[in-house]
Amino acid sequence: MDTAALTAWIREFARLIAANKELLTELDSAIGDGDHGVNMDRGLTAVVSALDAEPPETPSALFKKVGMTLISKVGGASGPLYGTAFLRMAAAAGDSVELGKVLRAGLDGVVARGKAEPGDKTMVDALRPAVEALEGGGSVQEAVRAAEQGRDATIPMVARKGRASYLGERSAGHADPGATSVTLLLKALEA
């Protein structure tokens, strides 16, 4: 993927976040503090403004701008997690981007910052299977399906990270908001 295609991907992600703001807020109200949709939308709106103001010329510059903007604008846990992911993707990106490789770098960044393990009911549970699908030569559609399955698999899980973990058993029965938003990141690739 080149810079133009990647920029279109990020813009589509921003659109999907805005369109699903209420859903993310609802999921986060059930097991967190109800701010995931609002925070992500604020961050991605700022990302789109930054891209409008000064379109990045390389994949690496694009990811760096996305990462820095999210760190500065989102707050909460999502800001550092998504921000770190995109900064790691910036470091892993060359002139043209191999999706599986950069998303692997992003996933490693999320794990390093948040220390979540598979099954903790976090964004890792959706992102990891998608990355593994791409690394195994799967199509974008297959990666999206893997993310969706990973997201749905968080529904019965008991959270062990983030604010949802304070609910103990009561966190089961709802999809994780972070797993849901990161599935939108994958879904944005289909546009």
- Tell me: does residue 91 bind another protein (CB under 8 A): no
Q: What is the DSSP string of 98-161?
A: -HHHHHHHHHHHHHHHH---TTSSSTHHHHHHHHHHHHTT--HHHHHHHHHHHHHHTTTPPP-S
Q: Using CB under 8 A, which of the segments 46-54, 76-84, 135-143, 147-155 binds another protein?
A: 76-84
**Could you say which residues in the range 143-162 bind another protein, by CB under 8 A?**
158-162
Cβ at position 19, least distance to another protein in Å: 17
> Does residue 138 contact residue 174 with C-beta atoms inside 8 Å?
no
- Binder of another protein out of 27, 71, 103, 182 (CB under 8 A): 71
> Does residue 73 contact residue 46 with C-beta atoms inside 8 Å?
yes
Cβ at position 44, least distance to another protein in Å: 15
Which lies closer to another protein via its Cβ, residue 62 or residue 164?
A: 164
Which lies closer to another protein via its Cβ, residue 161 or residue 187?
A: 161
- Binder of another protein out of 56, 76, 109, 177 (CB under 8 A): 76
- 28-34 CB contacts, 8 Å cutoff, 24+ apart: 28/177, 30/174, 31/159, 31/163, 31/164, 31/167, 31/170, 31/171, 31/174, 31/176, 31/177, 32/162, 32/163, 32/164, 32/177, 33/163
- Tell me: does residue 79 bind another protein (CB under 8 A): yes
- Tell me: does residue 138 bind another protein (CB under 8 A): no
Contact footprint for another protein (CB under 8 A): 25, 29, 32-35, 38-39, 42, 71-81, 83, 113-114, 158-163, 165-168, 170
